[in-house]
Amino acid sequence: MPAVLFEKKGHIAVITLNRPEAFNSINKEVWELSTQAWIQVRDDNDIWVAILTGSGEKAFCAGADLKEMSGVFQEAIKSGRPPALPVPSIHPGKGLEVYKPFIAAINGVALGGGLELALACDLRIAAEHARLGTPEVKQGIIPTAGATQRIPRQIPWALAMQLLLVGEPVSAQEAFRMGLVNQVVPLKDLMPAAEALATKINENGPIAVRGAKEAAYRGVRMSLEDGLKFEEYCSANVIKSEDAIEGPKAFSEKRKPVYKCR
């Protein structure tokens, strides 16, 4: 079985990290296949929303495969070269921006690179028993797939520093209080909740959803003045679509809109 599974359910893609025997930890294959999955979501116009989850009931993703990492470091020591981790230069945590919504369905521990994959998603739902954290400093390293940049941008500074500098994981309920996850549910309700949220998003105009995400993601890296100009640019592109005509038309006719993503 591949280390990452990909399934389409109508306009929803479900990406599943599939190494339950290793707590869905990230090795070279996981990096490569998850990057391919992100690109497939980006390039398939029939996919409007994606859900990312893990196999089994214990782990969403326990982070980097430490056995593989240890081997890389040992080889580097022997050769006298700096260690080079088997991570693509562009991947979901860094450099690969997809403006379709991603929902993380966190079915267990999400640590290190696992939390970073969840942070690369837009919305996060956690099972009640999940624990989230960045333990890298305990291993003498730091996060390298976005946690040091995304966490301080998404939750209050002191709480971000708690996660990054102490290295202790927090419960799903504490992650909710921090603002790190949107919702906490029993494990049995996790995928139904994620699919319900995806379906709710898909009731909206898909081109408008992508435009709103792009405006938000790129806008926060700009000054407010430049961000407002970029919002106008995104709006001008969205309003050219057939869906932008269908939305107001359906409202005036008191019916549900039928969006076609064009």
Instruction: Tell me which residues are annotated as active site.
Output: 116, 136
- Which sign, positive or negative, has the C-alpha torsion 115, 64, 36, 60? negative
What one-character DSSP code corresponds to residue 139?
G
Q: Dihedral sign, CA of 135, 137, 139, 145?
A: positive
Query: E strands, 107-189, where?
Result: 109-111, 123-127, 131-133, 170-171, 183-185
Which backbone phi and psi does 120 adopt, to 5 degrees?
A: -75, -10
CB 126 within 8 Å of CB 184:
yes
Give the chain's largest Cα–Cα span.
72
